[in-house]
């Protein structure tokens, strides 16, 4: 039986592939377990500097596999209170989503938890929590509005309509849209560009940018200045 998630490393870049193409990469316990283990490996492996998450087949991830609802525990699968957003947030290294097709509801949340997204021209996005009657729990209501703004998030989440790759680019949901056949090559190119820089400063810059999620502009500016002063002091002593 094939693994629900494939994991490969090339040139210091982890390729994490959701691998249930016959089920449109829908989420079951095996897929979540494989995804969590893969992100943990990215976090802990010093030879890995960045990661890419994509899907095998025509979909990125079509959301929770409705056939396992009530049969499999998909929340807190490790029994330690750590859930999908926690697994992503504890990984300090950049995670890029290469969205190859449909990213729906829980699958959309997987994409939103990535640091940024590159989309195939075939990509489509939808939040259908309100249509299928499942409560969002992996960040949809907060991460979507952070990406596209409050008003567009309200429209997307209350109408449950799909948007295509071009709309996603217009709304600021994705960074780039590329030809489908160029998706992995372009995403890998971006990951390599990240890896060519000083890894310690890449992580520092990422932390400073993300700090703004939980603080005001004034607090974030002060935090950056304090970190800079500490950096200067340290490097003056080393000089």
- Ranking 68-72, 92-96, 214-218 by mean pLDDT, the lowest is 68-72
pTM (two decimals): 0.95
pLDDT of 96 reads 98
**Could you tell me if 208 and 223 are in contact, meaning their C-beta atoms sit under 8 angstroms apart?**
yes
Whole-number Å distance between alpha carbons of 144 and 219: 24
The mean per-residue pLDDT over the stretch 25-35 comes to 96
Percent of the chain having pLDDT more than 90?
89
Query: Which 3-state string (H, E, C) describes the chain?
Result: CCCCEEEEEECCEEEEEECCHHHCCCECHHHHHHHHHHHHHHHHCCCCCEEEEEECCCEEECCECHHHCCCCCCCCCCCCCCCHHHHHHCCCCCEEEEECCEEECHHHHHHHHCCEEEEECCCEEECCHHHHCCCCCCCHHHHHHHHHCHHHHHHHHHHCCCEEHHHHHHHCCCCEEECHHHHHHHHHHHHHHHHCCCHHHHHHHHHHHHHHHHCCHHHHHHHHHHHHHHHHHHHHHHC
Angstrom CA distances, 209 to 112, 213, 223, stand at 16, 8, 11
Mean pLDDT of the chain: 96
The phi, psi pair for 61, rounded to 5°, reads: -165, 125
Q: Tens of pLDDT along 148-198?
A: 999 999 999 999 999 999 999 999 999 999 999 999 999 999 999 999 999
Distances, alpha carbon 151 to alpha carbons 3, 110, 146, 154, 204, in Å: 39, 22, 11, 5, 32
* 173 phi-psi bin (left φ>0, alpha ψ -120 to 50, beta other): alpha
Nearest to 153 by CA among 176, 133, 171: 171
Identify whether the C-beta of residue 16 lies closer than 8 Å to the C-beta of residue 52.
yes
Q: What is the percent of the chain with per-residue pLDDT over 70, rounded to a whole number?
A: 99
Which are the contacts of 11, defined by CB distance < 8 A and separation ≥ 6? 192, 195
Which of 43-52, 62-71, 221-230 comes out lowest in average pLDDT? 62-71
Please say whether the beta carbons of 192 and 13 come within 8 A.
yes
pLDDT at residue number 238: 65
Q: Which CATH number fits domain 5-195: 3.40.50.300, 3.60.15.10, 3.40.50.1100, 3.90.226.10?
A: 3.90.226.10
Quick one: pLDDT at residue 188?
98
Mean pLDDT of 133-149: 96
Q: What is the pLDDT of residues 102-127, one digit of tens each?
A: 999 999 999 999 999 999 999 999 99
Residue 1 banded pLDDT, cuts 50, 70, 90:
confident
């Amino acid at each position: 039986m094939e693994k629900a998630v494939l994991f490969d490393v090339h040139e210091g870049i982890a390729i994490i592939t959701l691998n249930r193409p016959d089920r449109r990469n829908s989420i079951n316990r095996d897929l979540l377990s494989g995804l969590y283990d893969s992100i943990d490996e990215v976090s802990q492996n010093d030879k890995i500097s960045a990661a890419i998450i994509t899907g095998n087949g025509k979909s990125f991830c079509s959301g929770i596999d409705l056939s396992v609802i009530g049969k499999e525990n998909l929340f807190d699968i490790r029994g330690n209170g750590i859930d999908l957003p926690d697994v992503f947030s504890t990984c300090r290294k950049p995670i890029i989503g290469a969205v190859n097709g449909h990213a729906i509801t829980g699958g959309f949340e997987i994409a939103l938890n990535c640091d940024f997204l590159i989309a195939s021209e075939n990509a489509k996005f939808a939040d259908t929590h309100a249509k299928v009657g499942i409560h969002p729990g992996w960040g949809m209501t907060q991460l979507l509005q952070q990406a596209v703004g409050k008003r567009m998030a309200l429209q997307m989440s209350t109408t449950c309509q799909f948007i295509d790759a071009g709309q996603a680019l217009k709304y600021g949901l994705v960074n780039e849209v590329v030809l489908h056949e160029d998706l992995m090559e372009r995403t890998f190119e971006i990951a390599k560009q990240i890896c060519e820089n000083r890894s310690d400063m890449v992580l520092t810059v990422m932390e400073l940018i993300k700090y703004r999620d939980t603080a005001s502009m004034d607090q974030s500016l002060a935090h950056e200045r304090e970190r800079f002063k500490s950096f200067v002091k340290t490097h003056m002593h080393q000089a």
